[in-house]
Amino acid sequence: MGSSPLLSFLVLTYLVFMFVTPSHSSEYDVAQEPAPPVTSRKIPRNSEKVTMSLYYESLCPYCSSFIVGPLAHVLETDLMTILNLRLVPWGNAILGSNNTIECQHGGDECYLNIIHACAIHLLPDLVKPDLSDKYLTIITMQKQHFNFIKCVEKLYTTPDRKGAQESWEECSGKLRLPTQSIKKCYDSGVGKQLVLQNGKETDHLKPAHEYVPWVVVDDTPLLDDFENFIHYVCKAYKGKSLPRTCSSRRNTSINKDTSLQSVCHASEARSGDSQGSTR
């Protein structure tokens, strides 16, 4: 009988643990959750970090060039220690009746915009300690969803490109990502809700976006100087020490040679030049 109090304590502890410990959803459950509102997206933030948002559409060739070129390059630099990078797929799409989405470059663009949104929703940032720092500062590494989107953009825009679905599934396989979760996100309608939220955010930009790619750094649109985004990120940073990428560019600036012919104009989409839609 002397062991009864101990046995009772162990049983009580087990029951408390069972009720308090949260359950873990499977990867498929994640895709079925309601889409988070734009204003409450869980973006890893640091009060000193600079937020840069890229508003784009998946099949605008100039968006593709920007993503696989300068944006991909900067993710390999220490600028990422001060940067919160957000990708917002919607671009110049138009919301029609009954939530029909009309895309500037056809139905495949609508489809891939949703696939991109699903990847952004499902695949979080990767972080790891910077072992070169004696204080073991945690830094943001390349985004899983960015690597996926970059792969799709590069693969789908090649001359011998494959179909939209085959392209993203190939990239998902190469990167060992949860292909079925992304597909379920699309099939369940969650992806479309995410894209509609992106559309609401894009349509409420002030000033209104005129073309894509459209880059905003800490609520300041860069307009036709978007290719010089590193300069603006470094300038907006309020922390104590700038990353080396900023120091090496402090007195330099990319020549402002971005032609407005090198963007996809929203006015063309609104004038009825959109080539396809999705429901």
Contact residues for 129 (Cβ-Cβ < 8 A; gap 6+): 136, 137, 138, 139
Structural domain includes residue 7: no
Determine the residue type at 265: H
Structural domain includes residue 10: no
What does the pLDDT look like over 24-81, one tens digit per residue?
333 333 333 333 333 333 333 456 899 999 999 999 999 999 999 999 999 889 998 8
Predicted model pTM: 0.76
Structural domain includes residue 13: no
Domain carrying residue 270: 25-35+47-278
Structural domain includes residue 65: yes
State the total domains in the chain. Answer: 1
**Which two three-digit tokens encode residue 240?**
């104590």
Q: How confident is the model at residue 240 (pLDDT cuts 50, 70, 90)?
A: confident
Structural domain includes residue 138: yes
Structural domain includes residue 104: yes
What CATH number is given to the structural domain containing 202? 3.40.30.10
Per the CB < 8 A criterion, the answer to whether 54 and 71 are in contact is: yes
Structural domain includes residue 6: no
Structural domain includes residue 12: no
**Which two three-digit tokens encode residue 104?**
């500037």
